[in-house]
Amino acid sequence: MGRLNFRFYKLAVSSDRTAEPPSMLKLEHIYKSFEGRTVLSDVSLSIPQGATHALIGSSGSGKTTLLRLTLGLIPFDRGYVKINDQALLSFTPTEWADRIGYVPQDGGLFPHISGRQNVALVSGLRNWPADRIASRVEELRALVDLDPAILERFPHEMSGGQKQRVAIMRAAMMDPPVMLLDEPMAALDPLIRSSLQQELKSIFQRLGKTVLLVTHDLGEAVFLADCITLLHEGRVIQTGSYRELLLQPADPFVSLFINAQRTLPDLGAVA
């Protein structure tokens, strides 16, 4: 027999495969228990670079716990959390923190310093020169379309939408590849929330970050995210598009959760 041309074989095999975008954030087979109670069981997510992924579910489903694990705030029992195929446990807490921008529910701004000082705080601790800090703050201010005067105010002097923009600036200040948002608009009234959703979607696109968004609002998830994962009692019930969850539910709970929503977009508009 003649010698097999391995180069040709490899090319032929690879040409039959559909190219998949590289994953920036991966959670692989995550387990977590508290005092003998299982909170997360075999949870896996894979989010491509530059994509926005929404994590939804009812209260107690494990959404916030999964976010805290991803941030490195609490340890997991088993599994892996990776950014760009590098595991969380291979970094120091500081190194990991610089790779993830975080926006908590209420923005989490420090009340005793100005918006500008909030945004620049971590970069100052990392000994960035003043001109670099000023340049980055201005770049982000323009990106979120915030009046420069707002940055000189204290958080209690800002509206809810203004505080959220400052919080997004602070989360993006160190230019992390991944951003996590925990119910970022839960405390806003409906009119401000709708307006900020539009702006947030545009900001995500301009930042080009990989985003994991936690929300209980399926309509918000559909509007902002490229893909949705539904959690229930610590397990992934289904991951996919809104159309897939609606028309091809993997479990009766998927339909139950969707039918309980009051603010869902028209499927034709989503398509």
- Sequence spans of domains, the chain: 21-46+78-90, 92-212, 237-271
Note the pLDDT of residue 19: 55
Outline where DSSP puts E strands in the chain.
Answer: 23-34, 37-48, 52-56, 78-83, 86-87, 100-103, 178-182, 210-214, 227-232, 235-240
CATH topology for the 92-212 domain: Rossmann fold (3.40.50)
pLDDT, residue 66, reads 94
Give the pLDDT mean for 167-171: 95
Mean pLDDT of 96-125: 93
* Cα 81 to Cα 32: distance, rounded to the nearest angstrom: 13
| Tokens at 52, concatenated | 């926005």
pLDDT in tens, 184-242: 777 667 677 777 788 888 888 888 899 999 988 888 899 999 999 999 999 999 999 99
Res. 56: pLDDT tops 70:
yes
What's the pLDDT band for 262 if we cut at 50, 70, 90? Answer: low
pLDDT value, residue 219 = 86
Q: At 23, is the pLDDT very low, low, confident or very high (cuts 50, 70, 90)?
A: confident
Q: Are 134 and 142 in contact (CB under 8 A)?
A: no
Q: Is the pTM of this model over 0.75?
A: yes
Is the pLDDT confidence value at 111 over 80?
Answer: yes
Partners of 52 in the β-ladder: 211
